[in-house]
């Protein structure tokens, strides 16, 4: 027993310096060593990867931005600044999709095109007032015809159509609602395109859980969620849109945002194969393309006559990322909006002829009234 007690005491005295050393480390170590927790919003790792970096601040060829918005009526000074920024980007024409209708459209057209008649295109929008009245579709088509006479060069359909728009009985208005057939038929007769935004990214309709790729965006903007108890399914909304395209084969539809199928290029290709009157554009979805550069490049080459350039929000510096994705073969670079892409981008390095069609040639075929002299052959 005595020997065991002596050994225990010796062990205690032997370990005491180690204990004191540990206490000293805890006392003087930085606090953050023991609090290594953070939210995904805070986590911003800086890559140590050394790769080629090609900064592209001006498009290789002049381009038409088929999808943008400039609400209200900018002052002459604001418009002059905007045109100067467009020149620096090599943007020859900007399509303002927020033209409205009637007298409001006439004012937008007059304001944008008075001094710069060749630089801006204005699209009309539908007025849903009186949707329950007999003959609504015919009246709306007649108003659209007047809007075209007043300078509109296309029709823009916003995402409330088919998603949140309701009629007088409180029922959701479906995208393929036959009440609107006269409007879409009139677009075909007038030779103007319909740029239509239907629905949202598929992830907005999925459960907001740890498996959702848009978890961060839905956390930051909870109202963007489309839960099944309040909204139709993504498949239903998109199916109605595709029915509309098929029902009006003489009308040219530009399916905005890659039809929310940039994450399923095979499916989008099948849609384009089935419906030759449908085109698409890249506004707000290039983060999807930049993570699948090989397949996306193949898609652009195969459907080079059907894809157009679009941006959606007018922020000049963000165009640089678009140019870099389409014009270079750079690897592993950042997208400019983390909530849309926590992954890295890779360039598609599109062939020159494909790039020309994408930047301006396809839009010239669809948009009436643009001066082709602004662009090379």
- Based on the fold, state whether residues 13 and 161 are members of the same structural domain: no
Which tens digit of pLDDT belongs to each residue from 159-214? 999 999 999 999 999 999 999 999 999 999 999 999 999 999 999 999 999 999 99
- Based on the fold, state whether residues 26 and 97 are members of the same structural domain: no
Report if residue 54 sits inside a domain: no
For the chain, how many structural domains are there in total? 2
CATH of the domain at 155: 3.20.20.140
- Based on the fold, state whether residues 91 and 16 are members of the same structural domain: no
Rounded to two decimals, the pTM is 0.89
Domain region containing 22: 2-34
- Based on the fold, state whether residues 18 and 155 are members of the same structural domain: no
Question: For residue 190, with 0-12 CB atoms within 10 Å meaning exposed, 13-18 middle and 19 or more buried, which class applies?
Answer: buried
Q: Which residues of the chain have pLDDT under 70?
A: 1-35
Report if residue 278 sits inside a domain: yes
pLDDT for the residue 41:
81
Q: Which long-range contacts (CB under 8 A, 24 or more apart) does 32-40 make?
A: 40/215, 40/216, 40/342
Report if residue 100 sits inside a domain: yes
- Based on the fold, state whether residues 227 and 166 are members of the same structural domain: yes
Report if residue 42 sits inside a domain: no
Report if residue 43 sits inside a domain: no
- Based on the fold, state whether residues 8 and 128 are members of the same structural domain: no
pLDDT for the residue 71:
78
Which residues make beta-bridge pairs with 276?
none
- Based on the fold, state whether residues 70 and 30 are members of the same structural domain: no
- Based on the fold, state whether residues 120 and 168 are members of the same structural domain: yes
pLDDT for the residue 19:
53
- Based on the fold, state whether residues 20 and 92 are members of the same structural domain: no
């Amino acid at each position: 027993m005595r020997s065991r007690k002596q050994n225990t005491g010796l062990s205690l005295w032997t370990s005491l310096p180690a204990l004191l050393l540990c206490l000293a480390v805890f006392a003087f170590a930085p606090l953050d060593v023991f609090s290594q927790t953070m939210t995904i919003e805070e986590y911003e790792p800086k890559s140590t990867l050394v790769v080629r970096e090609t900064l592209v601040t001006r498009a290789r060829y002049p381009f038409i931005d088929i999808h943008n918005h400039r609400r209200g009526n900018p002052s002459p000074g604001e418009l002059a600044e905007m045109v100067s920024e467009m020149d620096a980007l090599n943007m020859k024409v900007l399509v303002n999709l927020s033209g409205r209708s009637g007298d409001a459209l006439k004012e937008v057209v007059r304001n944008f095109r008075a001094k710069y008649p060749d630089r801006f295109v204005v699209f009309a929008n539908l007025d849903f007032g009186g949707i329950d009245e007999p003959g609504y579709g015919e009246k709306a088509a007649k108003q659209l015809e007047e809007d075209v006479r007043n300078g509109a060069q296309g029709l823009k359909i916003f995402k409330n159509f088919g998603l949140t728009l309701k009629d007088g009985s409180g029922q959701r208005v479906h995208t393929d609602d036959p009440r609107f057939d006269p409007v879409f038929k009139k677009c075909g007769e007038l030779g103007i395109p319909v740029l239509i935004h239907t629905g949202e990214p598929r992830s907005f309709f999925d459960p907001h859980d740890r498996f959702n790729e848009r978890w961060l965006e839905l956390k930051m903007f909870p109202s963007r969620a489309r839960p099944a108890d309040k909204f139709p399914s993504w498949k239903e909304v998109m199916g109605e849109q595709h029915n509309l395209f098929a029902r009006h084969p003489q009308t040219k539809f530009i399916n905005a945002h890659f039809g929310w199928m940039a994450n399923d290029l095979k499916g989008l290709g099948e849609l384009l194969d089935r419906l030759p009157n449908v085109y698409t554009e890249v506004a707000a979805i290039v983060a999807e393309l930049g993570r699948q550069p090989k397949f996306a490049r193949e898609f652009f080459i195969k459907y080079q006559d059907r894809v157009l350039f679009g941006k959606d929000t007018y922020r000049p510096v963000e165009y640089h990322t678009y140019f870099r994705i389409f014009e270079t073969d750079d690897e592993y670079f950042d997208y400019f909006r983390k909530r849309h892409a926590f992954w890295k981008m890779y360039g598609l390095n599109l062939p020159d002829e494909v790039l020309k069609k994408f930047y301006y040639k396809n839009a010239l075929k669809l948009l009436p009234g643009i001066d082709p002299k602004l662009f090379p052959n």
